């Protein structure tokens, strides 16, 4: 018996049960399924009420840039300004965006020296240039264009990040995103770890009609799972659209959802025009939205389930209580975060 699986909600139906009432279902997707040596088309239905549009709550131009160390010229979108505090953006607690910027050649390695973190994860996405990373848990490596490093600070870690040596000597365009993802209280003291994800390892979805490609860094898109492991439901997608290309996204209404235009110019929900380096925050209502490229574009799409726990942040530590912050400082000052040489920078 051929079985038909629904996409949302996740239920199973027999053909004879629903085959007579296809009009009751508002979304049909065809996928190939191999059975006994033959390829069969299975039909996935989205049952129930029609999905509501997730509307843009605000479109934000890039804040004035500032330097982090001497290697990162960033626009701080999170936490900042109206409706972009840590509580509203939960589980995303920081987003620093180094828009495309030319760094001239230099012998010195620009970057940020050894510093601590506890209670969250740092995600660095490279668009142009190369960054080297080392940490006190033994993690490290170099990421270049299209690569991602996902570091879990957890119970405490020391790390440093700086321009890769050859990039520093030659100079060039540099463009990166650093995102901080909060950890639920039960995982804040998890052991530190480091995920180095090359672009070739990122699962990708090729869009129809040559619209472009979606790189699924974390979470899922059209049933393709992200490469990075996460501690709570988080979607991090690199969307690369050709001119005129269009993509549809569907996330639960309560998820914190936003996007950043890395390159190009897009139209959101056939309405808002959003140029390069601008940030869009969506309402916590509705599920679906579309983006269309007015010209070839790269868009970072973020959507995550809020953790809904107290957030107490002080510098490099993000915990749930003030006492936990004080303990983090004590542990750092007494060497419990390990040791890391700072002579490479």
pLDDT beyond 50 at 242: yes
| Residue 154 forms part of a structural domain | yes
Average pLDDT of the chain, as a whole number: 88
pLDDT recorded at residue 49: 58
CB count in 10 Å sphere of residue 169: 13
Phi, psi of 46 (to 5 degrees): -105, 110
CB count in 10 Å sphere of residue 160: 22
Does one domain contain both 130 and 242?
Answer: yes
Does one domain contain both 26 and 80?
Answer: no
Does one domain contain both 11 and 130?
Answer: no
Phi, psi of 86 (to 5 degrees): -60, -40
| Residue 334 forms part of a structural domain | no
Domain with 287 in it:
56-304
- The CATH number of residue 248's host domain is 2.60.120.10
pLDDT beyond 50 at 167: yes
Confidence of residue 83 (pLDDT cuts 50, 70, 90): confident
pLDDT beyond 60 at 327: yes
| Residue 17 forms part of a structural domain | yes
Both structure tokens of 51: 């999905």
Both structure tokens of 80: 């900042």
| Residue 176 forms part of a structural domain | yes
Does one domain contain both 33 and 103?
Answer: no
CB count in 10 Å sphere of residue 200: 8
| Residue 315 forms part of a structural domain | no
Burial of 338 (0-12, 13-18, 19+ CB in 10 A): middle
Does one domain contain both 28 and 136?
Answer: no
The per-residue pLDDT for range 101-116, each reduced to its tens digit, is: 999 999 999 999 999 9
The per-residue pLDDT for range 262-309, each reduced to its tens digit, is: 999 999 999 999 999 999 999 999 999 999 999 999 999 999 999 999
Both structure tokens of 181: 């993802």
pLDDT recorded at residue 330: 98
What lies within 8 Å, CB to CB, of 86 at 6+ separation is 78, 79, 93, 94, 182, 311, 313, 318
Q: Which residues pair with 218 in a beta bridge?
A: 236
Q: How many domains does the chain have?
A: 2
pLDDT beyond 80 at 86: yes
Confidence of residue 51 (pLDDT cuts 50, 70, 90): confident
Does one domain contain both 30 and 177?
Answer: no
| Residue 323 forms part of a structural domain | no
Does one domain contain both 219 and 270?
Answer: yes
Does one domain contain both 41 and 90?
Answer: no
If you average pLDDT over residues 1-24, what whole number do you get?
A: 34
Does one domain contain both 7 and 83?
Answer: no
| Residue 310 forms part of a structural domain | no
Contact 119, 298 (CB under 8 A): no
If you average pLDDT over residues 170-174, what whole number do you get?
A: 98
Confidence of residue 343 (pLDDT cuts 50, 70, 90): low
pTM value > 0.75: yes
pLDDT beyond 80 at 4: no
Does one domain contain both 129 and 248?
Answer: yes
Residue 292: C-alpha distances to residues 12, 159, 212, 257 (Å): 33, 38, 11, 17
pLDDT beyond 80 at 13: no
| Residue 191 forms part of a structural domain | yes
- Of the candidates 238, 260, 254, 259, the one whose C-alpha atom is nearest the C-alpha of residue 305 is 254
Does one domain contain both 10 and 76?
Answer: no
If you average pLDDT over residues 120-145, what whole number do you get?
A: 97
CA atoms within 13 A on the CB side of 108: 9
Contact 239, 303 (CB under 8 A): no
If you average pLDDT over residues 211-227, what whole number do you get?
A: 98
Does one domain contain both 231 and 109?
Answer: yes
């Amino acid at each position: 018996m051929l079985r038909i699986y629904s996409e949302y909600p996740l239920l199973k139906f027999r053909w004879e049960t629903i085959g007579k009432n296809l009009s009751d279902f508002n979304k049909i997707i065809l996928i190939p399924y191999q059975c006994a040596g033959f390829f069969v088309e299975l039909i996935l239905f989205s049952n129930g009420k029609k999905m509501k549009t997730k509307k843009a709550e605000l479109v934000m131009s890039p804040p004035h840039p500032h330097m982090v160390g001497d290697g990162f010229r960033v626009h701080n979108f999170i936490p900042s300004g109206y409706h972009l505090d840590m509580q509203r953006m939960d589980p995303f607690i920081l987003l620093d965006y180094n828009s495309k910027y030319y760094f001239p050649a230099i012998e010195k390695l620009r970057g940020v020296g050894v510093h601590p973190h506890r209670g969250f994860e740092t995600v660095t996405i490279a668009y142009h240039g190369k960054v080297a990373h080392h940490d006190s848990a033994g993690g490290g490596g170099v990421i270049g264009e299209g690569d991602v490093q996902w570091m879990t600070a957890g119970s405490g870690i020391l790390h440093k990040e700086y321009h890769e040596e050859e990039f520093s000597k030659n100079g060039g365009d540099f463009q990166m995103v650093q995102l901080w993802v909060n950890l639920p209280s039960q995982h804040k003291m998890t052991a530190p770890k480091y995920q180095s994800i090359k672009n070739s390892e990122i699962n990708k979805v090729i869009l129809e009609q040559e619209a472009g490609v979606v790189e699924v860094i974390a979470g899922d898109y059209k049933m393709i799972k992200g490469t990075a492991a996460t501690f709570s439901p988080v979607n991090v997608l690199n969307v690369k659209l050709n001119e005129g290309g269009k993509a549809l996204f569907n996330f639960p209404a309560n998820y914190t959802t936003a996007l950043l235009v890395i390159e190009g110019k897009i139209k959101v929900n056939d309405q808002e025009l959003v140029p390069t380096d601008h940030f869009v925050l969506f309402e916590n209502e509705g599920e679906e939205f579309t983006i269309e490229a007015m010209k070839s574009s790269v868009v970072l799409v973020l959507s995550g389930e809020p953790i809904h726990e107290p957030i107490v942040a002080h510098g490099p530590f993000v915990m749930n209580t003030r006492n936990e912050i004080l303990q983090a400082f004590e542990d750092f000052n007494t060497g419990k975060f390990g040791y890391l040489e700072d002579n490479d920078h």
